Structure formats: C-alpha cells, structure tokens
Amino acid sequence: MSCCRELTHTILLHPSYFGAQLEDYLRQKLYEDVEGTCSGKHGYIISVITITDIGEGKIIPSTGQAKFKTTYTAIVMKPFKGEVVDGKVVNVNKMGFFAMVGPLQVFVSCHLTQAEMKFDPNSSPPCYRSNDEIIQKDTKVRMQIVGCRVEANDIFAIGTIKKDFMGQIKED
C-alpha cells in the first residue's frame, strides 16, 4: 500500500559545504539518502514530495559539522498481508516465479498457483501454463500477498494466485 508519510532524516554536513548553496546540498543529500531506500518500519520510500523543514543546523562540538534534522513528506510503499497487488513477472523457475511490484519483489511458489498450472521448462522462456493462462517473464499478474519478511533494509513478500481473479492480467 502506498501512502504519504511525514518522515525525518538527519544529515551531517561538513563545514566545507557551508555557504550559499548549503540548502542545495542538503536537498540533494536528502534525495540521495532516502529515495529508493527501504526501512522495515515504513517500507520503501518511493519519492520525496515536499521538504517540510530543512531543519536548523546545529554545529556539533569538536567536529564542526552541522546536523540538520530534516522533515519531509514522502510517498512510501509497504506491503501488507492480504493485500492484492499487480506486478510484472521477472523470473520463472521450477519453484515458482518472482514478480516485481514497484520496488517490491514478490515470490509466488508453485504450490500457491492453481493446481492445473504446471511448470513448462521446455518453452522459451520457461513458463507456467494452465488451460487459459500462461505466466512467463514480463507477464502482468495480479496476486495476493500472504506473507512478508521485513528486514532492516529490504522487504520480501510471498504471494498467491490460487484465488479467484488472481493470476495473469489479460490486456484486451
């Protein structure tokens, strides 16, 4: 699920950057630091929308560095159990397939596909095939997240397509 969140980020600035462009540096640094990262608590930080407050620099004694506590609003994405997501298949193997939902990788095990869906290793590219569906690389699929593993800087999810209206999204 994607949503906007107000987050903070602390930036340390070397004195050599103090100057007219200080704020530019801070902004640039903030973007570099947080965009595209993932934290277990908030999920993936997709993009910084606004910088609410660049913060008031405080000089740290003994180093001369300035510490800025920056407040910003960002679009974050965090998967939840039971959430239905659309993604694009990136890898297919005999155990199942991996799909990317934005930055999130979702694994759909072959156990979590319809029973009649079989792995076909001989086709190129390898795919899962059932009577009316073919899932191969770059197929768009809809799946439901059944579990998430959250690490300090990454999230993995397991999905299922063993439900109604799940599986390949057919574009007409």
Partner 1 sequence: MSDQEDRSSPVDPRSDDERDEKPVTKKRARVVDPDEEDDVDDTEQVTKEDEKPDNDNDEDEDEDEDEDEDDEEDADEDEERGGERRRKRRRKQKVNRFLDVEAEVDDEDEEEDEDNDYGDVAEFIDEAPEEGAAQSDYQHRRLDRSFGRNEEEDVQDIVQRLKERHARTASARYNGDSDMVPQRLLMPGVNDPSLWRVIVKTGREPAICASIFRKVFSQQYSANPIEVISVFCRDSLPGMIFLEARQSAAVSAAINGIVGIFMSKGVSLVPIEEMAPLLKIKKKDVNLNPGMWVRMKRGKHTGDLAQVVDTDQITSGVVGIKFIPRIDLTPREKRRERAANGKGLGSNIKPPARLFSYDDVRKIYGRQSVRSGAQGSYFFENDEYIDGFCVKDVKIAVVESEAVNPTLEEISRFSGDDQSTAKFDLSAIADANKNLTVSVLFPGDQVEVYEGEQTGLYGAVETVTPDVIAIKAVGGDVHGQIIEVPSRSVRKRFDVGEHVKVLAGKNANATGMVVEVKGDVVTLMSDQGEQEIKVFSKDIRKAADTTNTAKQGGLYDIHDLVMLDSTTAAVVTKVEGALLRILDQNGASKSVTPDQVTLRRDNKRFAVATDSQGNDMKVGDVMKENEGENRQGEVINIFRSLFVFLHNREYTENNGVFVARAQSLISATPKSAVSDLGKMNPALNQQLPLGGASLMPPPPTNVNRNRLINTLVVVTKGTSKGLMGTIRDIQGDNARVELKTNNKTLTIALTSLKRKDQKTGATYPLEAGPAGGFGGRPGAGGYDVNPYSGAPMAGGQTPAGFGGRTPGARFGQTPNPYAAGGIGGKTPNPYAAAGAGGRTPAPGWGAGGKTPGPAYGNAGGRTPGWAAGGKTPAHGYGDGGKTPGWGGAGAGGGGKTPNPYGAAAGPSGGRTPAPAGSMYGVGADAGGSRFGNGAMTAPTPYGGPNPGVHSAPTPAAPSNPYTAPTPYGAPTPFAAPTPFAAPTPGAALSAPTPGVGGPTPYGAPTPFGAPTPYGGPANGGAPSTAPGGIPWDWALDFRNVIVEVGPSTRPGTRAPLHFQRGLYDGKRFGHDAIVGESCRCVSLEDASIIEEIPAEYLRPCYPDAPGQVVVCIGGGPEQKGQQRTTSYENGGSWMMEMEQGDMTALVLDDKDLCRIWKV
Residues forming contacts to partner 1 in the complex (CB under 8 A) are 11-14, 16-17, 19-21, 23-26, 29, 32, 40-41, 60, 62-63, 65, 81, 93, 95-96, 107, 109, 111-112, 145-152, 156, 158, 160
Question: For residues 112 and 158, what is the distance between their CA atoms, to the nearest angstrom?
Answer: 9
Least Å from the CB of residue 89 to partner 1: 15
Peptide bond into 125 cis (omega under 30): yes
Least Å from the CB of residue 170 to partner 1: 26
Question: For residues 52 and 102, what is the distance between their CA atoms, to the nearest angstrom?
Answer: 26
Decide whether 20 or 132 has the Cβ nearer to partner 1. Answer: 20
Least Å from the CB of residue 65 to partner 1: 6
Decide whether 136 or 171 has the Cβ nearer to partner 1. Answer: 136
93-98, long-range: CB within 8 Å, 24+ apart, which pairs? Answer: 93/126, 94/119, 94/121, 97/128, 97/135
127: its two tokens: 């795919």
